[in-house]
A and B are shown apart, each in its own frame.
Chain A
Amino acid sequence: GQQLNQSPQSMFIQEGEDVSMNCTSSSIFNTWLWYKQDPGEGPVLLIALYKAGELTSNGRLTAQFGITRKDSFLNISASIPSDVGIYFCAGQGGAQKLVFGQGTRLTINP
């Protein structure tokens, strides 16, 4: 089945630092989605990417849909305490199933 490799699994950074995480796949996807999940809550959509090569920003967040359609990255600039949480990438191919990465747990030291 399709698998996503998300890295890093965890990050410990200082407030104000930039963050970068990425996902790679063995399969081609038509859509890449990035979610953030806080403890006890459902995943919240951060950025949706629909075209290969697309670069999209949402405030301090920037994500790109890789040109090969097998990878995507998410950058967070100037991190703040509320950025703490688990970030999931998710890819969607031709069917309705969303394939999730294993998540990146972000911890910020003030």
Chain B
Amino acid sequence: DTEVTQTPKHLVMGMTNKKSLKCEQHMGHRAMYWYKQKAKKPPELMFVYSYEKLSINESVPSRFSPECPNSSLLNLHLHALQPEDSALYLCASSQRSYFDRPAAFSGNTIYFGEGSWLTVV
């Protein structure tokens, strides 16, 4: 079973709202990711968590705040977003973390959730 579940499927929020996107996986994966995808474009990496610790932040604005409460859950807290932040937000996970053994990182497959459609009005 390679399932990553995301909620909500759709979210509409105003620029002054605070909301959260949630992601869950029960595959025992050690790395979890947030990606942002605009229409007709490939996914763009935002954050990577390894062993529940933030390991990569791709210079994402602070209005996006990730959180990893435990090894199965990943949240993305949203506050004071702009209309241009409207996009499909994808959560993903992979079995290995880069911090296991870099040499063993080859062959690490990343599985995506169905995404959360965010519209900022």
Chain A residues engaging chain B, CB cutoff 8 angstroms: 30-31, 33, 35, 40-45, 48, 50, 88, 90, 92, 94-98, 100-103
**Chain B contact residue count (CB 8 A cutoff):** 31
Cβ-neighbour of B106 out of A41, A45, A50, A103 (below 8 A): A50
CB distance from B38 to the nearest CB of A (A): 12
In chain B, what residue has the closest Cβ to A96?
A: B98
Chain B residues engaging chain A, CB cutoff 8 angstroms: 2, 4, 6, 31, 33, 40-43, 45, 48, 50, 55-56, 88, 90, 97-98, 102, 105-115, 117
Distance in angstroms between the alpha carbons of A95 and B31 in the assembled complex = 12
Known: A92-B108, A94-B105, A95-B98. A41 touches B42 (CB 8 A): no
Distance in angstroms between the alpha carbons of A21 and B115 in the assembled complex = 25
Decide if A102 touches B108 in the complex (CB within 8 Å). Answer: no
Distance in angstroms between the alpha carbons of A95 and B115 in the assembled complex = 24
Decide if B107 touches A45 in the complex (CB within 8 Å). Answer: no
Cβ-neighbour of B114 out of A41, A88, A94, A97 (below 8 A): A41
Known: A50-B106, A96-B56. A42 touches B42 (CB 8 A): no
SS of A interface (majority): loop
Decide if B108 touches A42 in the complex (CB within 8 Å). Answer: no
Decide if A44 touches B107 in the complex (CB within 8 Å). Answer: no
Most chain A beta-carbon contacts within 10 A, residue among B40, B42, B43, B107: B42
Decide if A97 touches B45 in the complex (CB within 8 Å). Answer: yes
